[in-house]
Structure 1
């Protein structure tokens, strides 16, 4: 019986046909290694924790992620609780019912009279749903799908404690964002792509924002509270992926990773976590969007930079007029080319720039969902294209 993950009933079919073939794991380390090999952690699924073959040749990437996500949840359930997939479905549904108390949209979309299988299909669809606006449609799904693993860790917590609070999601997301910032700070040669990538992660999170993690709190946030072994392994993987964004981990970065292993209380030699990430990248380099030569963030940045340059040039007269009426903004933008702005100064720049964009029809792209990600690119061009405005106001 052919499974189509885009048609109602696919969960029931998959578990009926492959439920008994989902692998058994006795340790967190073996489960995590299999998660690495499956690709779910990287948002690109290539296998499904199965002891038998599955024909997925007709599935697209999102359909593979759907099935990989479900199979990973069931493999975790088998390791922690039971191999009865009907009990698994009920417990998984209850898990999402508990976190739905925060009025998240995905449970509002399910059919009120559907069974647990059908409701879970709607929930999984929503968990994988991406932002399709013209600003973010080219890359957001990569980040969103890789952050699905937070649901795996939350389900583990729920199985071990029989309850879960939304703070678990918020805290873990803050840890991931803080660790990405921490890892980027280690890099001696940060590129503009690294900064944009950080913003992509921020844009994909459900419950947290990177602005809530202050620079002097980064280290404390990463290591605060109790962690399961799976969570520690995932945090390490986040750091390793961040450092590998340019395809290379330098010696001084490896020292940072080795220190992180100790701080997270991991036994690196036993888990062999470095090898599996590098091995997965090498094996799937041509297909893995995040690491191949046509890096979506780089493509997005390059293409968008060219488009914004044209927009700014075409609207130069209007921009100059608007900027001449906002000397505070011009001074702050000038200051940003020399020094780091404070949090409050950044908020002023963003607000005043968006106000200007509202008055220029061609720049309304910055008002769309996700458009705030483009503001750093816009800021980059203003000093170059409007030097007189800066010179006049900086000398006031």
Structure 2
């Protein structure tokens, strides 16, 4: 099993999948349909389109996104180049990202080691799937940041064909997506609390341009002639459909907007019908798992989403954490008391200080030291007693 947070995972991914033993038979249409089925287009990944299944139990969202981005980039490489050479793909992907240098993205100039392409690509992908928001808002922006990752795939296709990313390609794509989403939401009959949020999430996730809301006034002013590939056109329609779905209903005027968009892009009406059906089926099935659609109670949703992430993080570092806690008799005693009564303010401060000191010694737990990290400490404190309940009981018995 691969671990996307451990060095060498890309080489292990290709070794496990054994792509070289397969034949090239993928078409652009089948590739897009499979990618959409995984949820990658919508920014909520539920599976990978791979030869051999990849178990993801206990993975973080970012880890799932890493593998999905790698696999989708490789998929478009196969479709475009008609070959399964993983080494050539890795080399091309690194060269592509070295050329792609969005605002605020200086990582690509610093990545080491330069003599190992797969490790370099790991570093790039790791940075690429991260949102730039605080811990609290990260769960909400993750959906859109992931949905826009398909732009990387489309830009990579352009790079493979032309040997370079066409000038202003990514900037034009970002601006077009935000323009389409803004226009789509403007024509909705039933406005919801999600509409402004979605626009804000898209605007917060763009990396290549400073977008102005005033830059688009009406449908006729949309400039879509720049996009000539079927993958680009289908993606734009699916993104618009996702935006319109926010109230759970695609009304006649909204469907008409999608058909207008398809006509302008020279895409068949049949695709629009299938897009609406697929988007409705996917979001209806997975709505409870998608942060954007749970925004009505952001505090509860943040807690639910974050609790699982913290529990996974603690479980992975269980041995080191337990060792550090056992060395502090006072902390052990206070945590034991916390399972039977509420700690007073002085005790809470002691627990917080000592736990933060421990987190400084465990690299993976430094998340608790970041802005907003202190909000996660109650989750950590609540979960710790389950790691070694017998030790806590012994401390209480001895104290009595």
| TM-score, scaled to structure 2 | 0.68
Change (3 A) 1:95 1:46: same
Pairwise CA distance, 1:134: 5.8
Distance 1:6 1:143 in 2: 22
* 1:244-294 deviation line (CA, Å, top 9, x unaligned): 011111122112212222221112426832322222223323323333xxx
Change (3 A) 1:24 1:69: farther
- Which residue is 1:299 aligned to? 297
Change (3 A) 1:209 1:131: same
Pairwise CA distance, 1:212: 6.2
When the two chains are superposed, the root-mean-square deviation of aligned CA atoms in Å is 2.7
- Which residue is 1:240 aligned to? 241
Change (3 A) 1:255 1:25: farther
| 1:273 equivalent in alignment to 2:275 | yes
Distance 2:209 2:23 in 1: 33
Distance 2:249 2:45 in 1: 23
- Which residue is 1:12 aligned to? 11
| 1:164 equivalent in alignment to 2:165 | yes
Distance 1:25 1:254 in 2: 34
Distance 1:101 1:203 in 2: 14
SS in 2 for 1:210: coil
- Which residue is 1:92 aligned to? 93
Pairwise CA distance, 1:215: 3.0
Kept after mapping to 2: 8 A contact 1:138/1:300 = no
Distance 1:22 1:186 in 2: 47
Distance 1:196 1:285 in 2: 16
- What is the correspondence of 1:219-234 to structure 2 with a 5 Å cutoff? 219-234=220-235
- Which residue is 1:33 aligned to? 33
- Which residue is 2:50 aligned to? 50
- Which residue is 2:378 aligned to? none
- Which residue is 1:59 aligned to? 59
* 1:137-169 deviation line (CA, Å, top 9, x unaligned): 341222111111110110111112111145111
Pairwise CA distance, 1:23: 9.0
- What is the correspondence of 1:385-396 to structure 2 with a 5 Å cutoff? none
- What is the correspondence of 1:96-245 to structure 2 with a 5 Å cutoff? 96-100=97-101, 104-133=105-134, 136-165=137-166, 167-211=168-212, 214-216=215-217, 219-245=220-246
Bigger shift: 187-196 or 214-223? 214-223
Distance 2:59 2:137 in 1: 23
SS in 1 for 2:260: helix
Distance 1:240 1:166 in 2: 28
Distance 2:185 2:111 in 1: 39
Kept after mapping to 2: 8 A contact 1:174/1:221 = no
| TM-score, scaled to structure 1 | 0.69
Pairwise CA distance, 1:231: 0.5
Distance 1:286 1:203 in 2: 23
Pairwise CA distance, 1:57: 1.9
